[in-house]
Structure 1
Amino acid sequence: MKWAKVVIKHVILISSILIACMLLIISISVYLWQTTDEGRLPAKTAVVLHAINNNLVSLDINIRPPAIVSGGGSGGNPLLREDLVIPVQGGVQIPVRMYRPQGEGPFPILMYYHGGAFIEGYGSLETHDNIIRSLATRTNSIVIAPSYRLAPDYVFPTAVEDSYSAIEWAVEYADSFNGDRERLSVVGDSAGGNIATVMTLMARDRHGPEISAQVLLYPLTTFQDVPLESREIYDSGYYLLSRQVMYLARDLYTPDKLMWSHPYTSPLQAEDLSNLPPTLIITAEFDPLRDEGEAYAERLAEFDVPVRATRYRGVMHGFISFYEVMQSGRYGLQETASFLRQVNQGTADIGDAYNLQVRQPPQGFDRVRDQTEAFAIAAYLIGRSGANLFSTP
């Protein structure tokens, strides 16, 4: 039996050494991923960006090891999902996805415009379904997300005309799905944030439906060549949006240079931003669109539009899409939902004086949780990379 004890001791020793080596590899890897030319990233942001930029996961991210990294869902009234087609300009129809609570209602209506650089293949209802669904649950609202037509086949103003037709359809048929046309809001991210705010301009200019609120998540607000520091610093594409894609979007969506100065493409330079609804704008620190989103908030305030702007530190473009794995994404989603609920309940208090709020990366327990999950995900990614290496012929 003596030899058995010796074997067991050696097995324990070797196992301990292997575990220590693995932990060291994970720690060094995460440290290196956190180190960038633009600044040091929080562990969770670094791990997520490493996974995406090295094609270890797709943008509809799913890198949660079972029973280790929890999701960011929300309970409540079960939702009904409907995929419809609605008529728009030119006698054609576009797909629309609707999530609505069960019950009599009437429920507030929220129009959601997905991001994706206005270009086919960069964003869709499928890539943004988690946000669409979660907002319906968290706000107890009917969320209608139109799949507007995209470049290069369809250039400006097709996308905004499709999107506006979707608003008119929602208002006209609100009674059929228990919607409250008096509580109508618009939300969009990135290119969809551009479309969302353009909807408020079009509704004002055309004396159309009254929009109660707008939420713009890291929006693109100008196609013009204006000096913006964030576009210069974070243009590599590592933070999920590159200068190359921005130029491609401009070339394909607005091929005529005259289009760049139109208020329905570049609301940042619009001459009149008055009489727009209460606004929440969320930006990300490591995002080429950060400065123009915040500049747009300032311009809205100049026209006495009630506006709140929040910059989330330590995160990249599109971070709210990753709310299931990033605590900052959950914060951003919660802020969005809270703002919309307050507007719908008539309790929103933005205040008269505009100021940019800067939200720090998760602290306390949330920081510990994020770091623990980051190392767990890193272990999963390293293990996956190793398995792929050994399985390669």
Structure 2
Amino acid sequence: MAKNIAKHFIIFSSLLVATVLILTSVAVYLWQSTDEGRLPAKTAVVLHAINNNLVSLDINIQVPQIVSGGSGGGSPLLKEDLYIPVQGDVQIPMRMYRPQGEGPFPIIIYYHGGAFLKGYGNIETHDNIIRSLASRTKSVVIAPSYRVAPEYVFPTAIEDSYSALIWGVEQAETFHGDPERVSVVGDSAGGNIATVVSMMARDRNGPDIISQVLMYPLTTFQDVQLESRDVYDSGYYLLSRQVMYRARDLYTPEELMWSNPYSSPLHAEDLTDLPPTLILTAEFDPLRDEGEAYAERLAEQGIPVKATRYRGVMHGFVSFYEVMQSGRYGLQEVSSFLRQSNQGTLLVNDNYQLQVRQAPQGLDRVREQTEAFAIAAYLIGRTGVDLFNDQ
């Protein structure tokens, strides 16, 4: 009797496992299939989870005052949240991560993404990148919480951001920073801000910036024909045409603002004397083409530029470096570029050519697929209904 029960239990368990594997495989296959192309398994699973509200886009990690640098390793970092002065006798919040020790350490001013709009991004949602860059580059990272629309329109965000640069250079000694080694970094709207701040520093005889890193940047508010804006505008890839229009209407409410070089650097007449630049773009991103077009314009005007398109990923992919290998690749490339810049060993080929980084291959691909199926099985088990909901 006991043997029969055990035998039936084994058979039942095997059937259950087989059923879960089949359901998971079918679900992942369906999630990978999109009108715009077939997605890698990990990208498909992450996007399905986000777009079906199974996980939150916000990363809101409470970190103690002495914190780990994350996957970058190294010594614990010091964290400070404070207020810094900007135009109009106003103070804005700012977060700083810095290594322990006397330094002087290089300084990175990091401008977070978020479409220039309240509720779309802040220093909390980008805390993992800010913290990891400080650890990986052994730098002081200053992340200002610049004011955003609809309450504050152009040029408030960039003036706040430029003020943060000035504050960082002037106060460098107080936090063991090196004012001679300052870089600007930003993602999405923050990528726009980072390069605009570089232009402002050039135009106003401000601090010397030794490098700029722009991750999937917005570079124009004008109505220009860009294939990626048309193909990937649904919002499934974490940025929609609707949000882009909303950003333009609220951040730059007057049409004259759209052609200002400080809002649309892609169309600036003068891009000379800007720092060596790294631009990352994503295959499934409405901002892909304008980021790459900006890289071409910089190169045409003599700026050393490296641009890398990451295949198989969506807008904002570096923020997911903790769960996506391509995000880790991107963060590694950014960190390496900044370290070389800080050490004075940066070499950029004069003959500009867009580099294309393939989706993970080999063991990384096996690991990504294995993790994707594990996450998918978890999501299916947690929801239990509407398993094959497509985008």
Q: Same fold by TM (over 0.5)? A: yes
Counterparts of 1:274 and 1:337 in 2: how far apart (Å)? 25
Alignment-derived partner of residue 238 in structure 1: 236
Alignment-derived partner of residue 326 in structure 1: 324
1:153-211 deviation per Cα after TM superposition (whole angstroms, max 9, x unaligned) = 00000000000000000011000000000000000000000000001000000000000
Counterparts of 1:38 and 1:260 in 2: how far apart (Å)? 29
Alignment-derived partner of residue 38 in structure 1: 36
Report the TM-score when normalising by structure 1: 0.95
Seq. identity, %: 78
Alignment of 1:339-378 (within 5 A): 339-378=337-376
What amino acid maps onto 1:170 in structure 2? G
Counterparts of 1:6 and 1:386 in 2: how far apart (Å)? 30
Counterparts of 1:196 and 1:283 in 2: how far apart (Å)? 15
Alignment of 1:197-208 (within 5 A): 197-208=195-206
**Selected match of 1:138 from 136, 139, 142:** 136
1:72 Cα offset (Å): 7.1
Alignment-derived partner of residue 379 in structure 2: 381
Alignment of 1:89-238 (within 5 A): 89-238=87-236
1:322 Cα offset (Å): 0.2
Alignment-derived partner of residue 66 in structure 1: none
Find the residue that maps to 2:228 and give its secondary structure: helix
**Selected match of 2:76 from 58, 75, 78:** 78
- Structure 1 residues 347 and 41, CA gap change in structure 2 (3 angstroms): same
Where does structure 2 lack aligned partners over 5 or more consecutive residues?
61-68
1:77 Cα offset (Å): 1.7
1:223 Cα offset (Å): 0.2
What amino acid maps onto 2:99 in structure 1? P
Q: Is the 8 A contact 1:155 1:255 kept in 2?
A: yes
What amino acid maps onto 1:48 in structure 2? V
Counterparts of 2:70 and 2:84 in 1: how far apart (Å)? 31
Counterparts of 1:93 and 1:354 in 2: how far apart (Å)? 41
For the aligned residue pairs, the C-alpha RMSD in angstroms reads 1.4
**Selected match of 1:56 from 41, 54, 77:** 54
Report the TM-score when normalising by structure 2: 0.96
Alignment-derived partner of residue 313 in structure 1: 311
Counterparts of 1:349 and 1:77 in 2: how far apart (Å)? 28
Alignment-derived partner of residue 63 in structure 2: none
Counterparts of 2:116 and 2:196 in 1: how far apart (Å)? 14
Counterparts of 2:132 and 2:379 in 1: how far apart (Å)? 27
What amino acid maps onto 1:203 in structure 2? A
Q: Is the 8 A contact 1:49 1:238 kept in 2?
A: yes
Q: Is the 8 A contact 1:72 1:324 kept in 2?
A: no
1:383 Cα offset (Å): 1.3
1:351 Cα offset (Å): 1.5
- Structure 1 residues 26 and 306, CA gap change in structure 2 (3 angstroms): same
Q: Is the 8 A contact 1:187 1:215 kept in 2?
A: yes
1:74 Cα offset (Å): 1.9
Q: Is the 8 A contact 1:216 1:281 kept in 2?
A: yes
Counterparts of 2:150 and 2:326 in 1: how far apart (Å)? 34
1:387 Cα offset (Å): 8.6
Q: Is the 8 A contact 1:298 1:354 kept in 2?
A: yes
What amino acid maps onto 1:308 in structure 2? K
Find the residue that maps to 1:90 and give its secondary structure: coil
1:384 Cα offset (Å): 1.3
What amino acid maps onto 1:313 in structure 2? R
What amino acid maps onto 1:15 in structure 2? S
- Structure 1 residues 43 and 72, CA gap change in structure 2 (3 angstroms): farther
1:60 Cα offset (Å): 2.8
Q: Is the 8 A contact 2:70 2:132 kept in 1?
A: no
Counterparts of 1:320 and 1:377 in 2: how far apart (Å)? 19
1:11-61 deviation per Cα after TM superposition (whole angstroms, max 9, x unaligned) = 100110011000000000000000000000000000000000000000036
Alignment-derived partner of residue 45 in structure 2: 47
1:386 Cα offset (Å): 2.0
Q: Is the 8 A contact 1:72 1:323 kept in 2?
A: no
What amino acid maps onto 1:379 in structure 2? A
Find the residue that maps to 1:98 and give its secondary structure: strand
1:388 Cα offset (Å): 11
Counterparts of 1:199 and 1:179 in 2: how far apart (Å)? 19
Find the residue that maps to 2:152 and give its secondary structure: coil
Counterparts of 1:382 and 1:131 in 2: how far apart (Å)? 29
